[in-house]
Structure 1
């Protein structure tokens, strides 16, 4: 058995993949054993799942084989599902075994947050992973097939109902409205019979974006046929509808999708880590409160921005940056040095509105619209591919066509 310290990374999302990658770059082989545990043998682009769910990209486009980008000579990869974390014992239980560790990185990703809305968990589709997203599109297309074949002549089958107008919800809405004309041509259905509806309890879509950008996004999507119900609370979800508002109006649809929020993987809370709104409040250096050898990063944690008295954003950009700090701090601990605090460098954010359209705030709040913003969105996506897999991965998976 190796006498080297064992670093165990749980989850191969953005945070886990980049932490593993950085560890192989910063540590010599003799300094530590690195183990990456992931349910599947692939990593997927979480920020592309809305496109898979709308059927505008092939699922394999969003999938990257872990062994293609992680050096298996440096990292032991275990394909298994984590079932329990025992931080007091420094052990992780899996479906097919268990692993001990000296240092643990928890990056297990997110689960859907239902906010207590009855029926969401049971009846709504959710954009959580490749398989879920693929199933959403297959279900949506099956409703068009049912209608076109005469199996069911209820036009409400063609309605596509999306709950939540945050980042994922709006990007999904944009891809759906892009796909609808193609489905209508394929199954000889009039586009006028299809409704794409987005329901949001908040008074605006895309919270956190500049008001002008929000208005641009909303008007562009409305012009393409999206119907918004803003400031409308979802009271209940049924197998084929949302019950909304104080008057409990029922909005029927053949496809009902919930994109309203996420929380940390439930395993994290079950391990005894204290949660705030579904996530661990990580310390400044990304370690879990009360555990000097456990890091919690990505969708599993909040990291506090003390200057602005609020958490840093939880997104792919922050997860990638947290990975760099996490790897550096693990190296510091191995060498008996002080860890560093995580500081988020906000390079801006861009939201896609379909193939040739987007909005964004970048670098000192510069506003981007339309094709310029779309080109920047593709640059951001390609930059991650470069970081994790170099130029070859960009050529294989990248979004090289900007418009």
Structure 2
């Protein structure tokens, strides 16, 4: 009798897991059910582009029906409410599912680090819908500036200078001149701040690439406040640890991830930020039939540091989880997670990027931008979505 495999989430990890398991298992082996709250797959690594209007929503979303096609994967559009690991059931908003094997790939929530007012008075950028809200808000700031003449309307603060934060300020720096011309707004009134608590931006990147990135962005008007934690956010005001304040109508927070409520509430073993601890096969600790993959998980590399929540790690987790679920069904030996890291590429706006690919290969500028673009096309090929919408 076919085992019921329920996969929660159709992001990078969940979708790759469903597609790979479908290739490995026959319908006699496994009944694959994929649950997602939207009927589309989002290219989360591209969110900085629609957030400033550089791309449209349809440019970074792909219909799940077009990807799944006639494959024997049952897709359910619904929201996951809770997981009962003892009963082996998942409560959705509109139904309840039972499972033999469960894959939790629900992504992550934003970590606000307990900073007063940050959650209430900042934008976050973890979905296409959130990116659309940022774009609409920025457009309105320019649209209304000549009526209201408040400088805070043209002051944009991005909290966090990791991947997401740097890619966003790069897109902003390239888009704002276009908006100043469109709405006849003085260019010298526009200010972009990148605020980072750590002593450096872009952790994990080579110092020379960090310096190149910083100079490229500064040349386009970005002001960096490094080693400067945000300590409070109020309507229209961001407070910094040194006592300075920034008057702004736009605070966008990109500074960290934490585990999702459904995993925490289900009682899986988690680290302090609520991400699930895993065994070497990517299963939740103490559970032989539950895999938790992607940003919802916490897995240490050989040096004892957690792997970063990146798309390439999520894709490889999805791939291995499918292999190990199939091995479990067939009573075969399970594989350990040993990801191959391809390096990191960060966009600095249109046609400029930096890439940390190897000790001897660290391209920057247009070449790195083409590499980032190629990685997107390679991924689309992996999920069979090269020419689909």
TM-score category (smaller protein):
over 0.9
Aligned to 2:316: 321
Paired with 1:69 and 1:319, the residues of 2 have a C-alpha distance of 18
How many matched pairs? 388
TM-score (norm 1): 0.94
Task: Pick from 151, 154, 159 the counterpart of residue 158 of structure 1.
Answer: 154
1:293 Cα deviation from its structure 2 partner: 0.1
Aligned to 1:181: 177
- The residue correspondences of 1:94-105 to structure 2 (distance < 5 A) are 94-105=92-103
Moved over 6 A (4+): none
What SS does the corresponding residue of 1:69 show, helix, strand or coil?
Answer: helix
Task: Pick from 63, 74, 77 the counterpart of residue 76 of structure 1.
Answer: 74
Aligned to 1:125: 123
What SS does the corresponding residue of 2:182 show, helix, strand or coil?
Answer: helix
Are 1:342 and 2:337 counterparts? yes
Paired with 1:387 and 1:198, the residues of 2 have a C-alpha distance of 34
Paired with 1:177 and 1:290, the residues of 2 have a C-alpha distance of 48
What SS does the corresponding residue of 2:14 show, helix, strand or coil?
Answer: helix
Are 1:331 and 2:330 counterparts? no
Distance 1:365 1:236, change over 3 A: farther
Paired with 2:70 and 2:278, the residues of 1 have a C-alpha distance of 30
Aligned to 1:311: 306
Task: Pick from 362, 372, 375 the counterpart of residue 357 of structure 2.
Answer: 362
1:377 Cα deviation from its structure 2 partner: 0.5
Are 1:385 and 2:369 counterparts? no
Are 1:278 and 2:274 counterparts? yes
TM-score (norm 2): 0.97
Paired with 2:124 and 2:30, the residues of 1 have a C-alpha distance of 38
1:382 Cα deviation from its structure 2 partner: 0.9
1:254 Cα deviation from its structure 2 partner: 2.0
What SS does the corresponding residue of 1:273 show, helix, strand or coil?
Answer: coil
Paired with 1:221 and 1:262, the residues of 2 have a C-alpha distance of 25
What SS does the corresponding residue of 1:185 show, helix, strand or coil?
Answer: helix
- The residue correspondences of 1:171-320 to structure 2 (distance < 5 A) are 171-247=167-243, 249-276=244-271, 277-306=273-302, 308-320=303-315
Structure 2: 5+ residue stretches without partners: none
Structure 1: 5+ residue stretches without partners: 397-403
Asked whether the equivalents of residues 2 and 27 of structure 2 are also in contact (C-alpha less than 8 Å), the reply is no
Asked whether the equivalents of residues 124 and 239 of structure 1 are also in contact (C-alpha less than 8 Å), the reply is no
Cα deviation 1:123-149 (Å, max 9, x = unaligned) = 10000111111001100110111113x
Cα deviation 1:248-289 (Å, max 9, x = unaligned) = x21011211111111122211011012113311111100000
Aligned to 1:375: 370
Distance 1:266 1:155, change over 3 A: same
Aligned to 2:50: 52
